[in-house]
Amino acid sequence: MRIADFLSPQAVVADMQARTKAEVLRELSATLARAHPSLREDRLVAVLQEREKLGSTGIGEGVAIPHGKLAGMDSLQAAFCVSRAGVDFEAIDGKPTHLFFALVAPENSAGVHLKALARISRLFKNPRFRAAILEAPTSSDIHSLIVQEDARP
């Protein structure tokens, strides 16, 4: 499985407008719903908010991976947004979060969901890659960087 299999170019935002954790979850959900019209924004927000109640998905180093499962989906879908200003997302390191990778999986897809989370988290451990994403000017550039980095052996 490659990230390009579940992250479409239409689901990438180069300059997210959200300034709070709640706004981030809404903007990620709106981005996913625009890219995949069969998904309802309100249901996506609810799923992501529910997971955040268990603990922040801010994994540190400026990265968060809000995620959840949604009944009625037939495949894994993602959205990726960059906050140039950074948002207090209650990350484990206490630092502002700039890179948000939302992942929503079908309700009964534990294996695929966990593999995708592991793949995303491994990719974003690389500080040079995170810096390149922050420097990329457009959504298209960001999507290309993610796909290229994910294709490396």
Report the catalytic residues. Answer: 67
Residue position matching structure tokens 């451990």:
125
Handedness of CA 146, 150, 151, 152 (dihedral sign): positive
Strand runs (DSSP E) across 1-153, as ranges?
Answer: 12-13, 58-60, 63-64, 67-70, 77-87, 97-106
Residue 34 three-state SS: helix
Phi, psi torsion values for 98, nearest 5 degrees: -115, -25
